[in-house]
Amino acid sequence: MRRFVRENGLSLFFATIFLATLVGQTFAGQHNFNAERVAHGQETISWWHYVRTPSFGGAVMENWQSEFLQFSLFIAATIWLVQKGSNESKALGDSGLESDEQQQVGSHTPSRGARWAKADDFRTRIYENSLLIVMTLIFLATWFGQSLNNWRVFNAEQATHGAASVSWGRYLLNPDFWEKTLQNWQSEFLAVGTMVVFTIYLRQRGSPESKPVGAPHDETATSG
Amino acid sequence: VLTGFGDGRPRSRDRWPAVVPLVCRPPDSSPYRDRCAAAWTCARAREVRASTNPSSPRLSGEGRLTHWEMGEVKPSQPTAKCRCGSSFTRATAETERGRGNSQRRYERGATCKESSGGRRERCPLTVRRTCPHPEQGRSASRRTHRNVRTMFVVYSVMIVGGIVFFVTVGFTQ
């Protein structure tokens, strides 16, 4: 057990704080939701009822989609684009998909390497893009989830104000959907760009997300 | 000269190769470029030189390079992680001392060698690793693989479960 925790500390840490904050969000969201219902003369709802509301689902999904979009774009952009001096970038001459030897594909796959990397056929083509494929699929699925939930919320508000409900397709063109989408995207793009640029000059000793403390500012693609 | 180092065969203590030179290079052996993080590789010299004093690591030169492989400590093939700076290649001396036949201890002190040759300085990192016996190592490797797979499954379940739950809410509520 101790070995398991030591070898998976990073993923366990983030899984724990993810679940803790998600649960925290449910309670804070329920209180906020009920406060608004009381203000409108409506009955309060239970915690479990709130967890199954589109209001909570939309809030969760719109944050998830932006995070997975952020990483999908970062994975894709760093294949071809570089930033001199940044820890988050490849070396300047390495932009592109790189050679099979560099990527350890086919006959260059080490003995303990992934089976699909050795196959050197369609399986290799899938496997060599699997990270981007899966992250993009999760982004699209969560964005779809956001649209469904926020659409329900939007129509509930329309009903409250005596306005006509809209179809899901119409809602995708509605400013409400795009405001909720873009407000999340912009913050992710700023954070990623900041990370790319700040790692040129700033350091964190011991973190692989930083260059070594003493590394020159123009040194690219080194981990501390 | 001892050859065939890394084959996992037990050796008596006095025959342990004292110095295993490791050299960080770009994987394609092209003129030195700064390739670290995911791209570094360590070349392990097959020829090693026995030291008269096993407790004092010495840099023995590059030796004859036989193959490239990702730098990681394997139970039977003790390569070491290297980190390459922009202007240094780092030749790493690794000493190996027998601790009975069941455990080997790898103590690595690194020496930086300027690309142009000449000046040498101490690397900032000294790594100590304890590697299990090859037999133990194989089972430990399988266990590590299971451990890592567990977290992959946990995260996949959280994400897929969350998406299915909230999409269902969106469809039904």
| A105, A116 contact by CB (below 8 A) | no
The shortest C-alpha distance from B53 to chain A (Å) reads 33
Q: Identify all chain B residues contacting A208, using CB atoms and an 8 Å cutoff.
A: 37
The shortest C-alpha distance from B86 to chain A (Å) reads 6
Rounded distance, CA A131 to CA A99, Å? 18
The shortest C-alpha distance from A121 to chain B (Å) reads 23
The pLDDT, as a whole number, for residue B164 is 95
First to last CA, chain B: 76
Rounded distance, CA A201 to CA A215, Å? 9
At A146 the three-state DSSP class reads helix
| A193, A78 contact by CB (below 8 A) | no
| A215, A85 contact by CB (below 8 A) | no
- Single-letter residue type at A76: A
| A44, A34 contact by CB (below 8 A) | yes
| B51, B18 contact by CB (below 8 A) | yes
The pLDDT, as a whole number, for residue B46 is 29
Q: Identify all chain B residues contacting A101, using CB atoms and an 8 Å cutoff.
A: 27-28
Rounded distance, CA A212 to CA A87, Å? 9
Give me B75's structure tokens.
Answer: 């139970």
Q: Identify all chain B residues contacting A18, using CB atoms and an 8 Å cutoff.
A: 158
Rounded distance, CA B71 to CA B86, Å? 18
Q: Identify all chain B residues contacting A64, using CB atoms and an 8 Å cutoff.
A: 162-163
- Single-letter residue type at A220: T
Rounded distance, CA B77 to CA B8, Å? 7
Give me B40's structure tokens.
Answer: 């570094």
Q: pTM for this one?
A: 0.65
Residue-wise pLDDT tens digits, A48-92 = 999 999 999 999 999 999 999 999 999 999 999 999 999 899 888
Rounded distance, CA B82 to CA B43, Å? 10
* Average pLDDT over every residue of A100-111: 88
Higher pLDDT, B170 or A132: A132
Residue-wise pLDDT tens digits, B34-84 = 222 222 233 333 223 322 333 323 323 333 222 323 233 333 333 333 333
B135–chain A Cβ distance below 8 A for any pair: no
Q: Choose the closest CB to B36 out of A57, A152, A221.
A: A221
CA angle at B135 for the pair B129 and B141, rounded to the nearest 5°:
60
- Single-letter residue type at B157: V
Rounded distance, CA B92 to CA B71, Å? 12
pLDDT class of B85 with cuts at 50, 70, 90: very low
Q: What Rg do the C-alpha atoms of chain B give, in angstroms?
A: 21
Rounded distance, CA A2 to CA B8, Å? 28
Interface confidence (ipTM) of the complex:
0.84
